[in-house]
Copies of this chain bind each other. A is one copy, B any other.
């Protein structure tokens, strides 16, 4: 299966044009799966392969890809909008374990809250469509280093 053609096809389906700028931006996000790059970092990486690209194009493309559902924007409250690829097998987005000591971010695949959503509807008359969970604490490395329980 050919990536370029796949990407091309998805764009066309939505009535958008294929450009190498868009391909390069998408590639960088895909190639850095799990790194939660922010827009500036993506811009820098794309520039290595395509130096003429402008910041505005990167921002516009990221918004486009997010709207198309190919990537997700995540906010770790550090002042940057960060992006990760959308894996369409996920019904709900995965969750993040954020280390308070070193700032590392680990992904966790379990769907914790699926069973709880019905209860929320009963108790709060609120129909849950998606949820987002962030856990703050200490990662394996820092637990060892800090010698805490």
Stretch from A10-18, A54-62, A127-135 forming part of the interface with B: A127-135
Q: Are B132 and A134 in contact (CB under 8 A)?
A: yes
**Interchain CA distance A126-B141 in the complex, whole Å:** 9
Residues of chain B contacted by A53 (CB below 8 angstroms): none
Of the candidates B75, B97, B126, B149, the one whose C-beta lies within 8 Å of that of A135 is B126
Q: Are A136 and B127 in contact (CB under 8 A)?
A: no
Query: Interface residues of A toward B: which range?
Result: 35 or more
Most interface-central of A116, A133, A135, A148 (chain B CB within 10 A): A135
Q: Counting CB contacts under 8 A, is A137 at the interface?
A: yes
Q: Counting CB contacts under 8 A, is A108 at the interface?
A: yes
Q: Counting CB contacts under 8 A, is A68 at the interface?
A: no
Please provide the chain A residues from 102 to 146 with a CB less than 8 Å away from any CB of chain B in the complex: 106, 108, 110, 112-113, 116-117, 120, 123-140, 143
Q: Are B149 and A127 in contact (CB under 8 A)?
A: yes
Q: Are A140 and B125 in contact (CB under 8 A)?
A: yes
